[in-house]
């Protein structure tokens, strides 16, 4: 396998196990056990807490990506780098908790009419944000030391397994909905403790007070970088969640609940990107540090074509089966309203994957300040497009606003990198794959519909997968993906009836 595939293989395996758990939780147990308003509340609770944690981090989620190589010295406990991250992030948490409480009346005013249930859980944001903050700090600390597998396990499998257990407890009436929300906070706390213990087992838990980072020659650069990436990260998380926040305010938690289910279906497409990003960050960071443009270009092109192929295959698989997927869910007549949310969000994720690791390249380079500007611009664009489209088109408008914003944002990043660094991710293979996507979507319309949902999903998916894979192999679009697809075709062929 190529370098990118090798680096991300383990995290991909973990991620797709997590995908199965996510399917059970989000597409079956949540609709079965919770009302659409309660699903919306859970989404908002987690989304806002992630946003709050990002603000409170004061940039510590991203500082390791750029500055850890300067302090990487295990014999000297990395010169107190982890201690620095913890002190700064906790200081930020105290500061932003006070700000959050100061905006209580405004928040109540915005959500009291259409989402009153949210206000009953107002104070839950504080402990959940603290736990998510330290989870993010430890994940970043481990990933930059080329230990992405365990953080990915926590993010994709452990938390979803714990939520699954909580939903089972809820089903058997061990507790009510409020008890489930309490359990949710405790589940994230368990995830943090797991990362804490794992870091200690690696001999990397250096908590002894050490102010070397504060006194280093890099501290000014770290503070400036942290300030920019703080606003950039906060903008990025706000961009991801602004649709559900504004949808709740305009249309209520019920619409947000439906949107949440549809959004989950679409975000399955970007799972390979998340796994890849965790694996390549150390290489991208080191390449930027050494000004190794040829390595950056190689990683850029490979990430783009590999992500496009894998993302397209998943997007096609979802869209050709979209109605079947909704009909398999409990209360499908409610949640099928989110069909076009899946389409628009899915396209936005696919385009983001197609532009490769542009965020990782800019974020670890000396052009990171410009990326901050792009993120702020995207944040403003997201707010404006949601303000225009949600009142008219509801949840579909929120999804369309995300697609428009992501397209403009990634296009701006692409143009900037092309001008400043003289590299770009696209090749003739990109065009080949786009043509293959159109061909397979067209062929889908000629496949007869089966009366049994499961049979239709299996038959339709198998035919489209084989056509897509064969065309990809014939056109030699990607050496890395070619190896994987050949193995999958062989695996399927060996198990088909002779």
CB 421 within 8 A of CB 281: no
pLDDT band at 117 (very low <50, low <70, confident <90, very high): confident
**Contact in structure between 390 and 251 (CB atoms under 8 Å):** yes
Q: Is the pLDDT of residue 1 over 50?
A: no
C-beta separation of 336 from 395 below 8 A: no
DSSP string of 451-490? SSHHHHHHHHHHHHHHHHHHHHHHTT--HHHHHHHHHHHH
Tell whether the model's pLDDT for residue 406 goes beyond 60: yes
Q: Hunting for tokens 């692409």 — which residue is that?
A: 414
Domains of the chain by residue range: 3-426
Give me the pLDDT at residue 57, please. 82
Helix (H) or strand (E) holding 407: helix 368-420
Contact indicator for 451, 464 with CB cutoff of 8 Å: no
Q: What percent of the chain has pLDDT over 90?
A: 36
Going by C-alpha positions, the residue among 459, 464, 439, 437 that lies closest to residue 449 is: 459
pLDDT tens, residue by residue, 162-210? 999 999 999 999 999 999 999 999 999 999 999 999 988 888 787 787 7
- Counting Cβ atoms within 10 Å, is residue 161 exposed (0-12), middle (13-18) or buried (19+)? middle
pLDDT given for residue 10 in this prediction? 66
Q: pLDDT grade, residue 496 (50/70/90)?
A: low
Q: How far apart are CA 474 and CA 429, in angstroms?
A: 12
Phi-psi region of 2 (alpha: psi -120 to 50; beta: other; left: phi over 0): beta
Spell 267-277 as b/e; 16+ CB within 10 A means b.
bbbbbbbbbbb
**pLDDT over threshold 90, residue 74:** no
Distance, in Å, from the CA atom of 100 to the CA atom of 107, rounded to the nearest integer, reads 9
Average pLDDT over residues 94-98: 90
Reply yes or no on whether the pLDDT at 4 is more than 50: no
pLDDT tens, position by position, 240-252 = 777 887 888 888 8
297 or 217, higher pLDDT: 297
Mean model confidence pLDDT for the chain: 85
What pLDDT sits at residue 352?
A: 92
Closest to 236 in 3D by CA, of 363, 112, 105, 378: 378
* Cβ-contact 207, 83 below 8 angstroms: yes
């Amino acid at each position: 396998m190529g370098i990118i595939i090798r680096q991300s293989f383990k995290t991909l395996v973990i991620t797709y196990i997590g995908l199965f758990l996510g399917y059970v939780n989000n597409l079956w147990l949540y609709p079965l056990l919770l009302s659409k308003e309660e699903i919306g509340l859970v989404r908002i609770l987690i989304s806002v807490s992630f946003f709050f944690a990002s603000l409170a981090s004061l940039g510590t989620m991203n500082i390791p990506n750029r500055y850890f190589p300067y302090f990487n010295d295990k014999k000297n406990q990395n010169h107190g780098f982890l201690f620095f991250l913890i002190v700064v992030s906790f200081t930020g948490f105290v500061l932003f908790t006070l700000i959050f409480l100061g905006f209580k009346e405004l928040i109540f005013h915005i959500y009291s009419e259409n989402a009153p249930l949210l206000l009953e859980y107002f104070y839950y944001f504080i402990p959940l944000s603290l736990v998510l903050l330290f989870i993010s700090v430890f994940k970043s600390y481990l990933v930059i030391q080329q230990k992405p597998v365990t953080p990915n396990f926590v993010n994709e499998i452990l938390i979803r397994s714990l939520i699954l257990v909580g939903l089972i407890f809820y089903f058997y009436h061990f507790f009510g909905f409020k008890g489930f929300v309490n359990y949710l906070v405790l589940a994230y706390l368990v995830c943090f403790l797991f990362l804490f213990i794992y870091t200690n087992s690696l001999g990397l838990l250096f908590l002894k007070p050490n102010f070397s980072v504060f006194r280093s020659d890099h501290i000014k650069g770290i503070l400036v970088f942290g300030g920019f990436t703080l606003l950039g990260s906060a903008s990025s998380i706000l961009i991801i969640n602004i649709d559900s926040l504004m949808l709740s305010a305009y249309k209520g938690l019920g619409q947000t609940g439906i949107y949440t289910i549809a959004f989950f279906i679409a975000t399955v497409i970007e799972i390979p990107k998340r796994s890849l990003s965790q694996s390549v960050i150390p290489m991208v960071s080191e390449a930027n540090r050494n000004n190794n443009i040829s390595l950056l270009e190689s990683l850029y092109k490979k990430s783009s074509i590999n992500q496009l192929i894998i993302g397209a295959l998943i997007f096609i698989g979802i869209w050709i089966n979209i109605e079947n997927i909704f009909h398999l869910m409990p209360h499908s007549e409610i949640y099928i309203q989110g069909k076009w949310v899946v389409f628009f969000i899915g396209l936005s994720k696919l385009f983001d994957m197609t532009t490769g690791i542009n965020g990782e390249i800019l974020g670890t380079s000396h052009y990171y300040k410009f990326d901050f500007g792009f993120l702020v611009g995207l944040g403003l664009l997201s707010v404006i497009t949601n303000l225009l489209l949600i009142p008219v088109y509801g949840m579909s408008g929120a999804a369309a606003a995300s697609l428009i914003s992501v397209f403009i944002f990634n296009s701006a990043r692409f143009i900037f990198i092309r001008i400043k660094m003289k590299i770009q991710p696209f090749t003739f293979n990109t065009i080949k794959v786009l043509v293959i996507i159109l061909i397979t979507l067209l062929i889908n319309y000629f496949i007869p519909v089966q009366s049994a949902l499961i049979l239709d999903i299996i038959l339709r998916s198998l035919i489209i997968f084989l056509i897509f894979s064969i065309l990809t192999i014939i056109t030699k679009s990607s050496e890395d993906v070619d190896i994987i697809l050949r193995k999958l075709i062989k695996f399927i062929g060996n198990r088909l009836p002779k």
